[in-house]
Chains A and B, each alone.
Chain A
Amino acid sequence: MKVLVPIKRVIDYNVKARVKADNSDVDLTNVKMAMNPFCEIAVEEAIRLKEAGSATEVIAVSIGDKACQEQLRTALALGADKAIHIETDAKLESLHVAKLLAKLVEQENPELVILGKQSIDADNNQTGQMLGALTKRGQGTFASKLVIEGENAVVTREVDGGLQTVSLPLPAIVTTDLRLNEPRYATLPNIMKAKRKPLDVVAADTLGVDLAPRVELVKVEEPAKREAGVVVESVEELVTKLKTEAKVIS
């Protein structure tokens, strides 16, 4: 079974994003970048499938400018067999990404595509579902457990109110939730080895996908600041203030 894992280069999750002074966007110059945490989980899951003998090949793919090859090398160091970089400087929306990935799915025909459920920058939570629609495959989103049973992927999903399990005939699309697994760290020998693994570069405009923007970013602002509050000395004072000042309890 071939597994395709799309990954995204995003701002490191520990970094607090700052809005540019002209309100045009978030400032990403000289900011630490990393693999999106949900994508790390997707890579880990694919590698575990390979270690368990259900996957034969793991292909990592990333779409964006040259810098995202850094994250592809990370995926290779973690255990992916080969990487594909779809190169573009265009600002992409989830639909564009899904369409580019759909082209790749057509070429590579993986039985399983594992994506993160959302990127921590745009917070869209769309790409996996869109890829499911475009490739006419079933989708197991927000997965906290993935089991391959013969010709099916059995996916336990994190839904409001609990867990739901669905069975998807392969080929299928799965998106990862945080509790699916705990990603490993790349060891130095594996990082060295990853440098010799194949990394193909494909120009996005050779794939025949229209990348014209469909959503215009009008402006980006700081969220409304909360006023600094007060520190109370005792439980009694807290309850009194909640009753008389904030009036949120009676």
Chain B
Amino acid sequence: MSVLVIAEHENGVLKPETAKVITAAIKIGGDIDVLVAGSNVAAAADSVAGIAGVSSVKLVDDANFEHQLAENTADLVVELAEDYSHILASASTTGKNILPRVAALLDKSQISEIVDVVDADTFKRPIYAGNAIATVKSLESQKVITVRASAFDAAGEQGPVSVESLSNGAANNLSSFVGVEQTESERPELTAAPVIISGGRGMQNGDNFALLNGVADKLGAAIGASRAAVDAGFVPNDMQVGQTGKIVAPDLYIAVGISGAIQHLAGMKDSKVIVAINKDPEAPIFQVADYGLVADLFDVLPELEQAL
């Protein structure tokens, strides 16, 4: 048995999801090889080599993979797939984009967003917006799987293993990169942050989201949002926590002016400690909150910033 993990990186820097996917791979067992495909990603490959559990790193550094477009990357993964019983990637937008394409090219049914490994064939995954947990057993000879990174701890460190440079696959010209618009932020990334403070429709407008800054600064927190806040145009959508946004599981999640719709809870209910600040005592968020404060957020936020 051997596992191929597709590394997650951005601008040549390895993303923390990869070490969590490797933990899932360790639970499956067997040798773990990691593919780092991209342009100018040698440093990311070196970082991967130092993650505990990794047997070898395969580096494909080529302009064809610069933006990790699904069409080229899937073809590359398929070329390497033969030797592996399991192919894993993070259930990030990159992994979700590429892996089903790989699965179909290999004629395999994929299992998405696993949260636990029961054995090498059997996995647990949430369905119906996290309202049920399904245990599924793959009957495929080769398993193609995406991993919900927030459900696994990051693997530790090791003395670096070898990095093998491979020649690249060709571009298939089914798509081309036009541009990217990144959201600038000094704060930790939502999916990796130990503390998250999120605002909902109760914030009333985009400017009021600045009220969260003070508390976030004191706690070193990332700032998230509910779908209601995103749909209302208060903040950009990559801040959205929920079934259709990012799935997070920080140590502390502070929900401010968020009612707690199913779609939002699906994205954050595995947080260690949940705090809800809402003036409506009937808001469903209080049913999952460890600590609830029924009060006007506009009074609470400055007070909270002061108290920290």
Using CB atoms and an 8 Å cutoff, list the residues of chain A in contact with chain B: 11, 13, 16-17, 19, 26, 93-95, 98, 117-118, 120-134, 136-142, 144, 154, 157-169, 172, 177-179, 213-223, 226-232, 234-236, 238-239, 241-242, 246, 248-249
Contact A246 B290 (CB under 8 A): yes
Taking residues whose C-beta sits less than 8 angstroms from the other chain, chain B's interface range is: 35 or more
B70, B108, B138, B300: the one contacting A132 at CB < 8 Å is B70
Contact A179 B93 (CB under 8 A): no
Contact B180 A164 (CB under 8 A): yes
Nearest Cβ distance between residue B86 and chain A, in whole angstroms? 14
Contact B291 A241 (CB under 8 A): yes
13 contacts between A and B (CB under 8 A): A95-B103, A125-B100, A131-B104, A132-B104, A162-B183, A164-B179, A164-B180, A215-B138, A220-B132, A223-B131, A226-B290, A235-B303, A239-B304
Contact B183 A133 (CB under 8 A): no
User: Which A residues lie within 8 Å of B111 (CB)?
Assistant: 215
Contact B236 A162 (CB under 8 A): yes
Nearest Cβ distance between residue A99 and chain B, in whole angstroms? 8
Nearest Cβ distance between residue A233 and chain B, in whole angstroms? 8
User: Which B residues lie within 8 Å of A11 (CB)?
Assistant: 128
User: Which A residues lie within 8 Å of B140 (CB)?
Assistant: 214-215
Contact B132 A222 (CB under 8 A): yes
Docked complex Cα distance between A172 and B174 (Å): 8
Contact A138 B291 (CB under 8 A): no
Contact A137 B128 (CB under 8 A): no
Contact B132 A125 (CB under 8 A): no
User: Which B residues lie within 8 Å of A154 (CB)?
Assistant: 178
Contact B292 A231 (CB under 8 A): yes
A93, A133, A166: the one contacting B101 at CB < 8 Å is A133
B264 contacts the other chain (CB 8 A): no
Contact B112 A125 (CB under 8 A): yes
Using CB atoms and an 8 Å cutoff, list the residues of chain B in contact with chain A: 10, 67, 69-71, 74, 92-94, 96-105, 107-113, 122, 126-140, 173-183, 189, 191, 195, 219, 227, 230-231, 236-238, 243-244, 246, 251-252, 262-263, 269, 272-275, 281, 286-294, 300, 303-304, 307-308
User: Which A residues lie within 8 Å of B103 (CB)?
Assistant: 95, 126, 130, 133
User: Which A residues lie within 8 Å of B290 (CB)?
Assistant: 226-227, 229-230, 246
Contact B291 A162 (CB under 8 A): no
User: Which B residues lie within 8 Å of A236 (CB)?
Assistant: 307
Docked complex Cα distance between A163 and B178 (Å): 11
In the complex, the chain A residue whose C-beta lies closest to that of B118 is A218
Say whether, besides A129-B97, A161-B183, A167-B176, A229 and B291 are in contact (CB < 8 Å): yes
User: Which B residues lie within 8 Å of A215 (CB)?
Assistant: 109, 111, 136-140
User: Which B residues lie within 8 Å of A217 (CB)?
Assistant: 134-136
User: Which A residues lie within 8 Å of B230 (CB)?
Assistant: 179
Contact B104 A98 (CB under 8 A): yes
Contact A166 B69 (CB under 8 A): yes
Docked complex Cα distance between A187 and B188 (Å): 47
Contact A238 B293 (CB under 8 A): yes
Contact B136 A129 (CB under 8 A): no
Docked complex Cα distance between A26 and B102 (Å): 29
User: Which B residues lie within 8 Å of A220 (CB)?
Assistant: 127, 132-135
In the complex, the chain B residue whose C-beta lies closest to that of A128 is B100
User: Which A residues lie within 8 Å of B133 (CB)?
Assistant: 220-223
User: Which B residues lie within 8 Å of A158 (CB)?
Assistant: 93, 237-238
Say whether, besides A165-B179, A242-B252, A159 and B93 are in contact (CB < 8 Å): yes
Nearest Cβ distance between residue B246 and chain A, in whole angstroms? 7
Contact B243 A123 (CB under 8 A): yes
Docked complex Cα distance between A129 and B238 (Å): 21
B231, B272, B291: the one contacting A232 at CB < 8 Å is B291
User: Which B residues lie within 8 Å of A227 (CB)?
Assistant: 290
Docked complex Cα distance between A141 and B93 (Å): 9
Docked complex Cα distance between A125 and B263 (Å): 16
Nearest Cβ distance between residue A178 and chain B, in whole angstroms? 6
B130, B273, B293, B308: the one contacting A246 at CB < 8 Å is B273
Docked complex Cα distance between A44 and B294 (Å): 40
User: Which B residues lie within 8 Å of A125 (CB)?
Assistant: 96, 100, 112
In the complex, the chain A residue whose C-beta lies closest to that of B109 is A214
B107, B252, B281: the one contacting A248 at CB < 8 Å is B252
User: Which B residues lie within 8 Å of A13 (CB)?
Assistant: 262-263
B134, B238, B269: the one contacting A226 at CB < 8 Å is B269
Docked complex Cα distance between A19 and B255 (Å): 27
Contact A235 B131 (CB under 8 A): no
Nearest Cβ distance between residue B104 and chain A, in whole angstroms? 4
Which residue, of B71, B132, B176, B288, has the highest number of chain A Cβ atoms within 10 A?
B132
Say whether, besides A94-B110, A123-B127, A216 and B132 are in contact (CB < 8 Å): no
Contact B104 A138 (CB under 8 A): no
Nearest Cβ distance between residue A35 and chain B, in whole angstroms? 16
Contact A167 B110 (CB under 8 A): no
Docked complex Cα distance between A43 and B165 (Å): 45
Nearest Cβ distance between residue B62 and chain A, in whole angstroms? 18
Docked complex Cα distance between A184 and B238 (Å): 25
